[in-house]
């Protein structure tokens, strides 16, 4: 895996994707997993999941992201299924670390939420 590819994905996500900043920890985790799972499916040519309203919501965010990644990153069309999955897993980990683990927003885990 190329660190620069992961950096590209992370920078794009930080700049363009508001779904990572929902108000609760569980919301953030759910969005990171759901949207990036759909992105991985789209970038590897798999059929996206659209059976539930939640899956369709994740798909809508993932479609925009996958299209942008393909358009902005020449490497996106040159990597194989395993590398895409490795990059997406790395991005998930990095986002969880940044927007949950190291977040200073105390409302993320507030007991009244």
Give the model confidence (pLDDT) of 20-40 as tens digits: 888 899 999 999 999 999 999
Q: Is the pLDDT at 49 greater than 60, yes or no? A: yes
What is the 8-class DSSP label of residue 24?
A: S
> How far is the C-alpha of 34 from the C-alpha of 17, rounded, in Å?
13
Q: Where are the domains of the chain?
A: 1-100
Q: Is the pLDDT at 1 greater than 60, yes or no? A: no
């Amino acid at each position: 895996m190329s660190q620069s590819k992961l950096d590209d994905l992370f920078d794009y996500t930080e700049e363009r994707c508001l779904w990572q900043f929902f108000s609760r920890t569980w919301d953030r985790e759910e969005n990171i997993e759901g949207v990036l799972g759909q992105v991985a499916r789209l970038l590897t040519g798999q059929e996206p999941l659209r059976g539930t309203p939640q899956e369709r919501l994740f798909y809508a965010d993932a479609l925009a992201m996958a299209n942008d990644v393909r358009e902005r990153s020449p490497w996106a069309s040159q990597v194989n299924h395993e590398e895409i999955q490795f990059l997406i897993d790395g991005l998930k980990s990095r986002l969880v670390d940044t927007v949950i683990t190291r977040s200073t927003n105390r409302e993320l885990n507030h007991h009244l939420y």
